[in-house]
Structure 1
Amino acid sequence: MDRPVRIASLVAFQGDHRTLTERDLPRIASALVDDVAKEIDEETTDQTRPALTDALARTLHSLGTVDLDDLRAVRLGPEAFARHLAVAAPDADEELDPADAHTHASLREAVCAHILRFLTLRSPFVTAAEDAAFEERYAQDIIAAHDHLTIYGIDLAHSPDSWPLDAAYLSLETETDGGGPSAPAEQALAGRTRVLLWGVAGSGKTTLVQRLAVSVARGDLPAPLEGLRGRVPFVLPVRRFRRAGPNRDGSPEPNTFPEPNTFPEPDAFLSAVRYPHAAAQPPGWAERVLSHGRGLLLVDGVDEAPEEERERLREALRELPTRYPGNVWLVTSRPSAVRENWLASERFTELKLSPLSREGVTAFIRRWHAAARQDITDRADLDRLSGYEETLLDAVRITRDLGRLATNPLMCGLLCALHRDRRGYLPRGRKALYDAALSMLLERRDRERAMLPPDGIDLPQEPKIQLLQKLAHWMLVNGRSEMDRATALETLGRHLPAIPHAARQGGPEEIYRHLLNRTGLLREPTPGSVDFVHRTFQDYLSARAVVERHDFDFLIDHAHLDDWEEVIRMSVALARPDECAYLLEGLLAARKDARPVHARHRKLLAAACLEHATELDPEVRSRVHRYTRDLVRPTSLEGARALGWIGPIVLEMLPDPAGVSDEEAHRLAVTATSIADDRAIDYLVRLRDRASWAVRAQLAGAWRRYDTDRYAEEIIAHLDERELDFPVSDLEELRALRRLGGRPCVQVAGALTPEQLAEGLVAERLTELWLAYDLGADLDLSWLAVFPRLEILRLSHRNAEVTGVPEGVQVIVAGP
């Protein structure tokens, strides 16, 4: 059908081609009464059934007179369509008593739902019209839900709590484990239909998901992602896939799905993530979107599923793309939660969000301060903020501890906020940073806004922390990063009597609303649920709760689970020296029936914790080194990359590379370059004279992670040039390479202009140039004529349509 059709013309007892008579209506009505009554859980008896059957038959008869077409009926929905039929047959239930009249009304609405489903399925025209109308509404809801970011600390004065995504978003860089150049995330995703994206906590995984969803819903896409135009975004946070049965602490939990963390079927996508208008989607809509290959599926946070349930998710991520080809999938996770090649058999490309580069940190700090300026009118305050901006940029560049912290958007945002809040002074180390951030958000927020408590509740910082810790601890024990509002109220109610300062000011409901509205740490992502604004705060508050309870055996028992790693590290930072020693000794101790992989993980975690211990018995520190020394001698590239999560302490444990084979030297280089700390340079110096191309390429490709000038002098200047591409990602590296005399083969990974390249590359030396970034609309490469010795030009597949390449230069286009 390509147009609407009157319902009266579809009724089988109307018109010239009758297949039923009016005498058949009681028989049909009787069957419907029996079947539909069971469906809607309405009881009928032998005494009431005849009258109900007669009433429903009269209602069905009115279908032959109703003045509606199928499209209008479907748009009315079951409830309004049922009212329409009630008007058309006003005497249908006149002989029923009030109870039976109520039952008849329920039957009528349920039957109408079946009729509308039939009308939708029989007519492609109706289906398409309904789908288009719903998609328009759904797109607007996606934009409203995700077109904002919280920028920590900007809400201290008179600014909003969140900022438009376009104003706040900072393009993130991705890299592959194959040694290719890093690239902006939008460029790396272009042309790929299946991607597994790794990123540490706070690196921007969820922000990227938001950006993609909003850009597609709005139809405002950057050039590399034009291929996503017209797709329907499904934002699917894994933490919303609900677990069945009681929680680990024995408390009941309302459930949506019959199995733990089951990946929902398409028609349940929207209800799974608690989209408020899920019931309004046309029947079969999501299935049609996926069957036609129009979906953009953004599966966010595999790491937020309990470890024992991830295999179930993996099976779904294998099966669904095969069942519904042509859709685009982006799956995100923390690196420690899934092993390398987790979805490689399903042709998922694995990308990793890079730590913010120096330029990324600078851009974020400038973007943060630009956003903060929007609500400032006083000239002196503006000048003061500009001064803070410049001093912070200098501090991050010069101070090693700050440089190590400023590796992702979350930490950069906290540094910016605290630097401003403390008038140019910053705490040192992660523990001090988080403590200061809690103080800023919990105690000073309303005071800075010169606000009286609008809810009449005035809690000091410590009771707020205690209550928030209870919620965070519940989530830790139950393996959640989100909890039902009812469970939050029950948890607060259980602990309020022990916190009299809070108990005097309100019950669980009032205290919950206060924590939600006044702390800046909680949010309600969907009606009826609550979580922390970022997992990092949840982990930190969980660690505080565990340390206060002296529950170190509890931590040790769960240390093999990757989602406990951050909690354990933070617990070491918070614990007293004797507690810290007890925890580390527990991680090293042999455990009965422990799997070898879990034993190894515990020992490596002990090593990772060392840098967070403020004070520790030297004998315990030495014992950790002794137990883990052999474990940090990786036997595979996958294992070498996996050691990076331990942090800078691993550099003290790696073996001397002087006497190892080239293969092992390469693995050691991979581990050392995964540590984005300038202390790694001291180790890499011992690898710089290797002739192995793999070792040299690994060292060259790591330049962007370290201080430009020091790395250039101590590493880049010493690498054998033969068959080696020297990457430059920014103007600073380009200039440093020129000071070294240039190189014959250069890989340009950052978006530098033709003028910058013509000036920065040493023309007399350049023989091979790899333009690894997206050239955009400027595809005229006639400017390459300034390089007289250029022989080979490498381009990405997105830049294949270039013009003006000088004669005699061979062009090689890389695959997607």
Structure 2
Amino acid sequence: MALETAALKVGTAVGERAVRTWLSARSTGESSSRPLIELMRARFPDHLVRRKAERQLDDIADAVTARVMKLCAHEFPGLGEDDRHVVLAEVRDTLTRADLSDRALLAADADPVRLAREVCRALPAPKDLGEAQSRLYEVVLDECCDCLVRVVRHLPEFQPRAATEMLGRLSGLGEQMSAMLERLPARTLEAPDGTDRDTEFRRRYLEHVSQTLDSLELMGVRVERFRPRTPLSVAYISLSVTAARTRAAHDAWHDVPDEPATMRVESALSQGHRMLLRGEAGGGKSTLLRWLAVTAARGGFSGELAEWNGCVPFLVKLRSYADRDLPRPEQFLDLTAGALAGLMPTGWAHRQLASGRALLLIDGVDELTGGQRKAIKPWLRGLLAEFPAIRVVVTSRPSAARSSWLDEEGFAPAFLERMTPSDTRPSSSTGTRPSAAARTCPARPSNCPWCRPASWRTSTTRRICARSPPRRCSPPCCAP
């Protein structure tokens, strides 16, 4: 009998919480603290109607009591009646103190499992219960929450409240989506995946170009088991060019009073966006393009080329495409920065070219056959039509390209002159600094190009020595 009384109290607690949800305004703390009888009188002034509500409360209590008694009869048969009585008393106390308002139900999405979990989190089971008692406590509490949710779902007042809650959530969801969409990168045809990774990849790419292209092998220098190299940024010497006099745009390009026909290559490059640079083999065309790429990557231009700082260089060596199609913009990195090509954001090369801050360096027109050279102009014309603001320098030997070869594309021709004594004269700032190659030379003095007379050196070696001539090689080569 005591057990049935305890179970009835549990059922009554569930019924009262359901009726409170029915009678109360939407989840207000004031209505939840008012006595149930006051809520019923306020809602049902008529005595007969209030009697019917009370009978409905009794029906709910009886139904819950029957389910609780069935659980107590079949679950954990090893527990005595007193132990079960204690458990039911704790469940009733929890149901009385727990937040089971419609707000709590809606926060749990009217899910009895989630509601029971939240109740247990807010009001844990008493620690003085044994293991079997604690398990019975959880089972009975779960059953009571299930009964409560089932009853509340069918209350006529619950549906409008649930609809209001849903609309509120949808409104909040819309605001969250708007905030999230604002943080997402804009997607366009040129940037299908956004541009949020462009800056980081640009930094990685320029760093790669700066490191991998800043090296110059001293061609023509023979040292036993040693291939002399020196940093290009140290060895580079400014050369002279002569502007072509036969092109139609020559006058406009050099329309400056007293402008000489022969000038430093940096001065010639600064006067236009497109140049066809011709020169004999070994004259320094490829070295010049590598120096332009390295200096652009480091932002190290000064003087007349200072405005080139900030450009992204793309070096295209045509000899690598002698047996295949000329590269598309997304393939410009394949040879100079192949290790990074797989990391390049989609459309990154196109965006750099379209920005007008790209430097396209095309080396070696003469290294393609006559038939392959015919494809260069249409390829270059297509790039210029799509990216008209880019800076372009094309190099070739005179035998492969006349000075007027790219007139229609707006290229100003220039001819790279041979070095003069003034080019190879060491400056006071570098006259006593040994070159990097000399410092690491392991050769005997008789085989060392820096220890030989100047007449023995090749033009390339003279150029390097002019830039950073050593007085003597360091040990073990020329140790005193």
TM-score for both structures, normalised by structure 1: 0.30
Structure number with higher relative contact order (C-alpha < 8 Å, ≥ 6 residues apart): 2
Rg larger in 1 or in 2? 2
